[in-house]
Chain A
């Protein structure tokens, strides 16, 4: 049996790579998978590019930035499968949340209201000469950073000048919130729930409030691997497709929560995992909120990698860095997402693509054919 090494971070969105092994979907395809748990996205990237992994669970923007050589040496990667959409939250520290409540006179009702109230808090702080607010995300190139910027713009806040961004690894988020090192963060579960449970933060937005199907984590390979061993990759993708279907089935939620909670995977209580799977989370001390598509594992929009999504990621990476876009580079980015491999593996007959590959719920419309206009509108929205 062929053995391949697959890296993963201990996160709920590693569900598909884990279930593919645990439920026997990989074995059914004649594949033996050695799952390797990692502690940082930087390790994942480096082990993948230096051939210590054959494939890995990866932040979608990191697959694009690595392929383009942004932030590191350039190594072309291939993304033949999307692992999930959404699943992250924006959480404010208890202190900043109180300031937002004070401005409004009540708890914020939705993502827009909280962002607008935050804008007024920031303006007030500016007048009093208080230091800038500090927000944390899990990696410079992450959908978390992108979502955070969109949410800030929704309130009229300039993500480049009105706040500071820093990277904090998820396991340290709660401590950083409680010590006042950061004032808010965008992170996946269970870290938001942990912050709410321990009274150090409140959730003000779900990732799904910002976009319907922005790519969050993907399966990434070296593109040389994709070319040299297509048959192995096809098997892997068929196993992942079956696993995606199994993970999405609400009937399996209890089993999946139990599976992920094991010490060799996430090592947290099954109940904590179940929050995110069911999409019902306590958002502050008194309220809970449910959202059907809080975290989605399966769908044509999600698993089949759409090159237009890679173009969107490229535009977001560059505006995040305050750098101009380059059409040649955008085209290169698009080639990282490989629907051809997905189709060859699954026998998918290129479905009609959805009109909008990202499903942003507000702000400038995304036109994959006119990235300049989109990036320009984003920059303007920030002013």
Chain B
């Protein structure tokens, strides 16, 4: 069953916005739009005239939306932040996930809750992806440092690649420190001694 409520996503993060749009479409929301250009935001919102607005909390533009709560000549229908007073935990979940929803007056609570829950889920998925990406990047950067440290040891102590690596490992174990820390120290020393 398709839900015809028009949903507007305001998110400057292209990847996250796509993940959310896909999620909402899969859940049967056909009418989803995404705004990434936010100058003159209120006018753009007024032109689109959505039933539900989903905005990421990192965006300073949340303060722009606050104007809509006053009766503004820009907004055609009264709009309010979606707050389920009976469910404080879900508000906290949304905030922790980093998303906030605004709804046009009169839209049924269950419908909005369904949309918001989906967005929270997708925001969490995105955060996990981002974390994994960050970890992968760090691992890659660490490997580069270890390679450089190995090279420095090989030249300075005329060691084979294998021995240079073994020496770093042993030093790390003896000093109860991580391999990457030892490698960083060697690279730093290498810079100074150059």
Q: Is A42 touching B39 in the complex (CB atoms < 8 A)?
A: no
Contact of B40 among A46, A50, A51, A181 (CB under 8 A): A181
Contact of A138 among B57, B63, B65 (CB under 8 A): B63
Residue B14, interface by CB 8 Å:
no
Q: Is B95 touching A41 in the complex (CB atoms < 8 A)?
A: no
Q: Is B83 touching A73 in the complex (CB atoms < 8 A)?
A: yes
Q: Residues 38-78 of chain B: 1 if any A CB is under 8 Å from the residue's CB, otherwise 0?
A: 01101000000000000001111111111101100000000
Residue B154, interface by CB 8 Å:
no
Q: Is B92 touching A167 in the complex (CB atoms < 8 A)?
A: no
For A172, what are the chain B residues with a Cβ–Cβ distance below 8 Å? 39, 60
Residue of A nearest to B60 (CB): A169
Contact of B95 among A46, A140, A181 (CB under 8 A): A46
Contact of A40 among B59, B85, B92 (CB under 8 A): B59
Residue A264, interface by CB 8 Å:
no
Residue A377, interface by CB 8 Å:
no
Residue B96, interface by CB 8 Å:
yes
Q: Is B60 touching A175 in the complex (CB atoms < 8 A)?
A: no
Residue of A nearest to B63 (CB): A40
Contact of A167 among B58, B66, B81, B95 (CB under 8 A): B66
Q: Is B66 touching A52 in the complex (CB atoms < 8 A)?
A: no
Size band of the A side of the interface? 20 to 34
Complex CA gap A41/B83 in Å reads: 17
Complex CA gap A321/B70 in Å reads: 8
Known: A50-B88, A140-B70. A39 touches B64 (CB 8 A): no
* 7 further interface pairs, Cβ-Cβ under 8 Å (given A40-B59, A71-B66, A139-B63): A40-B60, A42-B66, A71-B70, A72-B69, A139-B66, A169-B63, A175-B39
Q: List the 10 closest A-B pairs by CB distance, nearest first.
A: A169-B60, A40-B62, A42-B62, A71-B69, A40-B63, A39-B60, A167-B64, A167-B67, A40-B60, A139-B63
- Can you identify 10 A-B contacts, CB atoms within 8 angstroms? A40-B63, A41-B63, A43-B95, A50-B92, A50-B95, A52-B95, A73-B85, A167-B63, A176-B39, A181-B39
